[in-house]
Structure 1
Amino acid sequence: MRTDMRRGGVLLDVAVVVAIVAVGTVAAGVLEDQPPSVGPIPGCDVVLPAEEGFSFSIGSYGGRYDNPDYPWLTATKASAMSTALIESLPTDVELEFASPSNSLVFQPMHIYPEGVEIAEGVTVEDISGDSTASGVVGRGDTKAPLGVSVEEWDGEIPPCVEERVDERTTQPDGTVVDTLDAVSDSDGGPTHRRTAVAYTADTLVHARTSNDGSDAMLPLRVDELRSIVSNPELRVTAQVPEGTPPPRRDCGSYQENPTLPLSKDMVERIGASLAEQWAVFLPDAQSDRPIGDLVLGSSGSASACTIVNVSTPTGSTELSIEISIRDTTGWRSTDAQDSSGVSRSTLPDGTVVTSRSDDTLRGGQPSEWLSVLRPSNTLVQFSFGDGIEADSLVELASAPGLDL
C-alpha cells in the first residue's frame, strides 16, 4: 500500500531518464485533534496540514512492455490506454504533433538500479510501477504540457492534505477523485498547476498540467482533468479491444544541427506515398502496423520514421525507416568504397546508394544498414535483418512521392 507519496513527474531526455519526485508525508492514522490552522476541504472528512516536501534526482533507464514484474502493462494495453486518453480530451482541445513519447503514448515503466540509495525513507518501490503518457495540448492560443500516469493500486484512500487537494469528489461507481487548482512558487517564479488523482479499487490515475506564471492560462479545466482520470478505460483491468496494434515507438537518428520539424501534413503525405510504393515493391511483406503510419522523428530531427516488425516468405525482421533532409556533404563521395563493410554506388539519375553490414547480432540477427540519397537530397535510411532484400528497399526508396 502506498499512501505517502505523489509523483511530481518524469522527464525524458534521449539517453537519460531522470525522475523528479516530490515527497510529502501523510500520517497513517486519523488525527482526532486537528490544528486550528487547517481549514475544511470540500468532500474531505479529514484534512491534514501541509508539510514541506523535498525533491531529488535519480538516474534510470527505460524498461519494456510485457515486463513480468508488471504483467498488466502489455504493449497492446499501453496502446489501448493511449487511444482512450486521447479520445477523452475535449473535442476543442488539440494534441500537439510530436514524437510518440511526447504524443500521450503510455511508456514502459522505468527501471532503477538495484540497491540504489534514493533518500531517507524513500525506496525504489515508492517511485516505480507507473506508466506515463506525456504531451502538449492546446485550446485556442493556450498550450500546456499534460502528463497522465497509471499504476496498479490496491491501497486505502488517504486523508486529504492541504496544498495537495482543494476538492474531493466521489463518482457514482465509487471512484474517488482529488483535484487541485493552485499557484506555487518554485525556482524563483510562480507556476499555475492543476492536478487530478483518481483512486479506484485496482488503479491510481494521476493527471497534471501546468504553465509558468501566477496568471498563466491552462487549456484544461479542473472538471475536464477529473473526467480524464475517471475514464474506466484507463484502469489496469480494462479489457484491450481485439486487434489493437502495439503502440507507436520513438525513432529517427540524432542530428547535431536539427532543422525545423516536419509538419503533420508532410509526414502524412510521405506516409501515404510510402504505403503505396511498399505494396508495389514488397507485395508479400506483412508488417505488424501499417508501413505508412509514420511519426515525427525524435531528438529534434526533421524526419519522418517508423519501426515495424516485418514477415516475408523468407524470414522476419525488425525494420526501421527514416526519411529526412540533412547536410549530405560527403554522402555522394565514392571514398566510402574503401571502408570496411561499406559499399557505395550511384544510379543513372544521380541517386546514391550506401550499404553496410554489421556482424553484431540484433535480436538474434545480423543487422543491415542501407541509405538512399535521392537527387533532391531527401535521404531514406533503412535498418533491417533477414527476410528483406536490399534491392527491393532501394526500389522503394527511389520511387516517386518520397521527396521532402
Structure 2
Amino acid sequence: MESGDSNGAATPSRAVTGWTVGLTCVAIVAAGVIVGGLLHEPQLELTTAPLTPTASVPPEPVEYSYVTAPVTFPARIPGCDVVEPPGKGRSFMSAFSDEFGYDNPSYPWFSGRKAVAMTQALRDALPEDVVVAFASVDQSLLFQPILGNPTESEGFGGWTNAHATLLRGARAGALSVTVRQSTAPIPPCVAGDLDERRHLIDGTIVDTHDTWSETNGVRTLARTASAYLPDGSIAHANADDVAAGGAGHTGAVPLSVDDLVALVTAPGLAVTASVAPGTPNPPESCNAGSESSAAVDQADADRLDAVLARIPLDGLTLDQPLGALRPTDEGGVCQAVRVTTPGRQSRLSIAITTGQVLPSESDTSPDNGAEHATSRRLADGSVVENREWRTTMADPTAQPSSQSTRIVIVTRRSGTRVQLASAADALAEPLSFALLEAIALTPGLEVP
C-alpha cells in the first residue's frame, strides 16, 4: 500500500526522516611485496620451507528439499462425481504496479469502501475466541488494492488479498483470504487438491483441503477452503501454523476446516454484496520515518490510544478518530487520518517511537532546506522542533501542484519521540504549529 507520510511531500530533514545516510564501503586489498637482498656471500640457506599452494575447494551446496503430502490415485472424494489424476506442479512469475490504488478501473466492483466492508464481514465471521494479532494496518485483515489488469486467461491476478496472524489460545498461525470475480467454470476435482467438495443450498460450491508440506525437513500444516459463489465470486482462505514473522511453527492451525468454510461463505465477501451507507474508506497507511525504535506492545499502544482519543481538536472533522495506533516496520507505532473540515483538508499523521537520542544544538540547526525551522528546549528537558516545507510536484499529464507540510517533533528525556505531520495541497493550509504542538505535548504520550 501507499506508505508513510511522504504523500508527495519533500522530507529533507533528520526531524522528518532521520537523515538516512548511505555508506559506501570500499574494500582495498593490499598486495604485500617481499624484497630479498643478497647481504652476504654466499647466499644463506632458507630456514623456512616454502608455502605449498593449495586449491580452494568450494563448499558443498546445501541440499534443498520440498515434500508434499502423498497423493493416492485412483481416489474417491466426497462431493465429486469424477476425480481426475494429479497434474504436474505449475509455477509462474508475475509483476504488477500499484498505479490506481483502490480505484483500479479494471475492477469496477471493488473500491476502498468495499474493502472495508469485506474486512468487517471477514472479522465478523471469525470464531469469537480468535484474536487478530496486533500488527500494521495492512497486516490486520484489511483487503488490499487489486493490482494490474485482468489476467483471467493466465489463471492468476485480479485478487484482493487480506492477511493477518491469528491467535487462539496456544495455537497461532497465518491467515490469508483472497477474493476475485470470475466467469471461468468451476475447476474439476483433482486428487491431491481437495479432500471434499461441499454443495450448499444456495448453489455455492466449497472445496476443502487439510494438508502439509515440508521444506528442508520442517513441516508446515495448512488448511484451505475455496468457495465458488453463484454470482461469480471466488473466495479462497488459507490458514497455517506459521507464527508471526515466520518465527517457527506452532504445530496447530488456529482455524478448523469448518471455520474456513464459514469465512469464504461470509455474505459480505461476495463481489456483488452491497456496501452499507456510512462505511468509511480504508485507514491511511503510515510509518515512523527512518528512525529505528523498539517495538511498542499492544498494552502501551492501547494506553496511548486512550490519551489520543481525549485530545480536543479545535473543531476539526476527521475521517477516522485519533486513537488507533498500529505497529510500524521501523518499530514504534503510528496512525494517519484525513482532515475533512472545509478549507483545512489535509493529511495528519502521528508516530511515536522510543529509544531516541535527545537532539543537540547542532542536530536542530535550521540548515536542512526548510522554509521555516525552529527548535527550543523546554524546562523539563524536552526538545520541540518545528519544520515547514513547500514543494511543487510536476506531472507531465497535468498542471504542477504544490503542497505544504508542517512537522512538529517532541523528543522527551526518556527517549520517547512524538512526531506529527500535516500536509495539504495548495487549496488548503496544513494544521497550525500551535495545534500540532498541543497534540504532541499532551501528557501521557510517553512510553516508559
Instruction: Give the TM-score of the pair, scaled to structure 1.
Output: 0.81
- Do 2:358 and 2:383's aligned partners in 1 also have CA atoms closer than 8 Å? no
Q: 1:272 deviation in Å?
A: 1.9
Q: Distance in 2 between matches of 1:367 and 1:101?
A: 25
Q: 1:110 deviation in Å?
A: 2.8
Q: Distance in 2 between matches of 1:256 and 1:38?
A: 58
Q: 1:45 deviation in Å?
A: 1.6
SS in 1 for 2:446: coil
Q: Aligned ranges for residues 4-43 of structure 1 at < 5 Å?
A: 37-43=73-79
Distance 1:214 1:288, change over 3 A: closer
Q: 1:61 deviation in Å?
A: 4.0
Which residue of structure 2 aligns with residue 264 of structure 1? 298
- Residue 66, structure 1, aligned to residue 103, structure 2: yes
Q: What code does the residue aligned with 2:88 have?
A: E
Q: What code does the residue aligned with 1:141 have?
A: A
Equivalent position to 1:206, from 236, 240, 243: 236
Which residue of structure 2 aligns with residue 289 of structure 1? 320
- Listed one character per residue, the Cα deviations across residues 105-146 of structure 1 (whole Å, up to 9, x for unaligned) are 11112348x9xxxxxxx8896322111110011221110100
Equivalent position to 2:131, from 88, 91, 94: 94
Which residue of structure 2 aligns with residue 374 of structure 1? 412
- Listed one character per residue, the Cα deviations across residues 175-221 of structure 1 (whole Å, up to 9, x for unaligned) are 10000001223455332211000001221000001236999311111
- Do 2:172 and 2:254's aligned partners in 1 also have CA atoms closer than 8 Å? yes
- Do 1:109 and 1:131's aligned partners in 2 also have CA atoms closer than 8 Å? yes
Q: Distance in 1 between matches of 2:93 and 2:216?
A: 15
Q: Distance in 2 between matches of 1:57 and 1:125?
A: 11
Which residue of structure 1 aligns with residue 280 of structure 2? 245
Q: Aligned ranges for residues 159-308 of structure 1 at < 5 Å?
A: 159-201=188-230, 202-211=232-241, 216-254=251-289, 257-259=292-294, 261-277=295-311, 279=312, 282-292=313-323, 294-303=324-333, 305-308=334-337
- The more displaced of 261-270 and 71-80 is 261-270
Which residue of structure 2 aligns with residue 399 of structure 1? 442
Q: Distance in 2 between matches of 1:254 and 1:397?
A: 16
Equivalent position to 2:433, from 382, 390, 394: 390
- Do 1:14 and 1:299's aligned partners in 2 also have CA atoms closer than 8 Å? no
Q: Distance in 2 between matches of 1:335 and 1:90?
A: 51
Q: Distance in 2 between matches of 1:140 and 1:14?
A: 33
- Point out which structure has higher relative CO (alpha carbons under 8 A, 6+ apart): 2
Q: 1:343 deviation in Å?
A: 3.0
- Do 1:255 and 1:301's aligned partners in 2 also have CA atoms closer than 8 Å? no
Q: Distance in 1 between matches of 2:271 and 2:302?
A: 32
Which residue of structure 2 aligns with residue 317 of structure 1? 346
Q: Distance in 2 between matches of 1:238 and 1:344?
A: 53
Instruction: Give the TM-score of the pair, scaled to structure 2.
Output: 0.73
- Do 2:180 and 2:235's aligned partners in 1 also have CA atoms closer than 8 Å? yes
Distance 1:215 1:398, change over 3 A: closer
Q: Higher strand share goes to which structure?
A: 1
Q: Distance in 2 between matches of 1:398 and 1:254?
A: 19
Which residue of structure 2 aligns with residue 8 of structure 1? none
Distance 1:329 1:378, change over 3 A: closer
- Residue 347, structure 1, aligned to residue 390, structure 2: no
- Do 1:313 and 1:387's aligned partners in 2 also have CA atoms closer than 8 Å? no
- Listed one character per residue, the Cα deviations across residues 231-269 of structure 1 (whole Å, up to 9, x for unaligned) are 11100111112211222343222557442x322232122
Which residue of structure 1 aligns with residue 82 of structure 2? 46
- Do 1:78 and 1:105's aligned partners in 2 also have CA atoms closer than 8 Å? yes
SS in 1 for 2:123: helix
Q: What code does the residue aligned with 1:354 have?
A: E
Unaligned runs of 5+ in 1: 1-11, 16-35, 115-121
Q: Distance in 1 between matches of 2:185 and 2:94?
A: 28
- Do 1:250 and 1:298's aligned partners in 2 also have CA atoms closer than 8 Å? no
Identical aligned pairs, as a percentage?
Answer: 35
Q: What code does the residue aligned with 1:307 have?
A: A
Equivalent position to 2:91, from 55, 58, 61: 55
- Do 2:358 and 2:412's aligned partners in 1 also have CA atoms closer than 8 Å? no
Q: Distance in 2 between matches of 1:124 and 1:135?
A: 29
Q: Distance in 2 between matches of 1:276 and 1:314?
A: 24
- Do 1:253 and 1:297's aligned partners in 2 also have CA atoms closer than 8 Å? no
- Do 1:374 and 1:398's aligned partners in 2 also have CA atoms closer than 8 Å? no
Q: 1:151 deviation in Å?
A: 0.8
**Higher Cα Rg: structure 1 or 2?**
2
Q: Distance in 2 between matches of 1:299 and 1:265?
A: 18
Which residue of structure 2 aligns with residue 21 of structure 1? none
Distance 1:214 1:345, change over 3 A: closer
SS in 1 for 2:118: helix
Q: Distance in 2 between matches of 1:402 and 1:384?
A: 18
| Cα-Cα RMSD | 2.8
SS in 1 for 2:260: helix
- Do 2:2 and 2:285's aligned partners in 1 also have CA atoms closer than 8 Å? no
Q: Distance in 1 between matches of 2:2 and 2:407?
A: 25
SS in 1 for 2:155: helix
Q: Distance in 2 between matches of 1:147 and 1:374?
A: 40
- The more displaced of 50-59 and 165-174 is 50-59
- Do 1:307 and 1:320's aligned partners in 2 also have CA atoms closer than 8 Å? yes
Q: Distance in 2 between matches of 1:226 and 1:395?
A: 49
Q: 1:335 deviation in Å?
A: 4.6
- Do 1:311 and 1:387's aligned partners in 2 also have CA atoms closer than 8 Å? no
Unaligned runs of 5+ in 2: 5-71, 243-247, 394-400, 424-428
Equivalent position to 1:138, from 167, 170, 176: 167
